[in-house]
A = this chain, B = another copy of it.
Amino acid sequence: MAMRGTRKKTADKPQYHHGDLRRALLDASLALISEEGFGALTLREVARRAGVTHAAPYRHFADKEALLVAVAQEGFRVMTARMKERMAGETSPEGRLVACGVAYVLFAMEHPAHFRVMFGPHFTQPPKMGPPGGDTDAFGLLVDSITQGQRAGVFHEGEPLMLALTCWSLVHGLGSLLVDRKLEFSGVTTVQQAEALALEQTRLLLRGLTRATSN
């Protein structure tokens, strides 16, 4: 009963069974969440989109939650990388902090499915992140940029954790509102508009963080 070539419509390179099903499953999950929402994420539908049987994913993920955990971890890696990349171009503490926040919002806009999984309420156990300073420690980058600003004397004194939470709240709120399309009434839809808005908002908060200088 050899039926070969059933799944591929075009005779692409005769890959292995699938080539990299694990990657394909992750991508299918992200596309599915982006297009149909979190509630539509189903192992069977993910397999369908990847062009395999509904049992195949179990060769790569123990169960549905394991798939979600993988998505979340990948999300934290990508987000942290984006932040580092964006902060690298800035030298001043203010610039680095703003870049950090803008990167967060940009990540939400460009990877909404990752964002939803990472911060959504559907985990029995929070996916463990790497050690402080690791490639998933996004929050550490934020705290560091604040303490550096304080050491440089440009930021107000105060508990760094609390200040970091404030910054996080701001960008997480903006990111969430954007991802969930609650700001469309205000005309903010494109990535560029979101970036501009993030820039304005983070600068406004920055004004409350910095010491006596006017402006």
Residues on B with C-beta less than 8 A from A25 are none
Residues on B with C-beta less than 8 A from A120 are 180
Residues on B with C-beta less than 8 A from A18 are none
Assign chain A's interface to a size class: 35 or more
Indicate whether A24 reaches chain B with its CB closer than 8 angstroms: no
Flag if A176 contacts B119 (CB, 8 Å). yes
A161-212 at interface with B (beta carbon < 8 Å): 161-163, 165-166, 168-177, 179-183, 186, 197, 200-201, 204-209, 212
In this complex, what residue of B is CB-closest to A118?
B182
Flag if B204 contacts A206 (CB, 8 Å). no
Cα–Cα distance between A206 and B209 once the two chains are bound (Å): 10
Cα–Cα distance between A186 and B163 once the two chains are bound (Å): 12
Indicate whether A91 reaches chain B with its CB closer than 8 angstroms: no
A204-B208, A208-B207 known; A173-B169 Cβ under 8 A: yes
Flag if B207 contacts A207 (CB, 8 Å). yes
Flag if B170 contacts A166 (CB, 8 Å). yes
Indicate whether A121 reaches chain B with its CB closer than 8 angstroms: yes
Cα–Cα distance between A95 and B37 once the two chains are bound (Å): 39
Indicate whether A82 reaches chain B with its CB closer than 8 angstroms: no
Pairs A-B, 6 closest by C-beta atoms = A173-B173, A208-B208, A207-B208, A169-B173, A172-B173, A169-B174
10 pairs from A and B in contact (CB 8 Å cutoff) = A119-B176, A120-B180, A121-B181, A162-B200, A169-B173, A204-B205, A204-B208, A204-B209, A206-B208, A207-B208
Please give the residue numbers on chain A whose beta carbons come within 8 Å of chain B beta carbons, in ascending order: 37-39, 116, 119-122, 161-163, 165-166, 168-177, 179-183, 186, 197, 200-201, 204-209, 212, 214
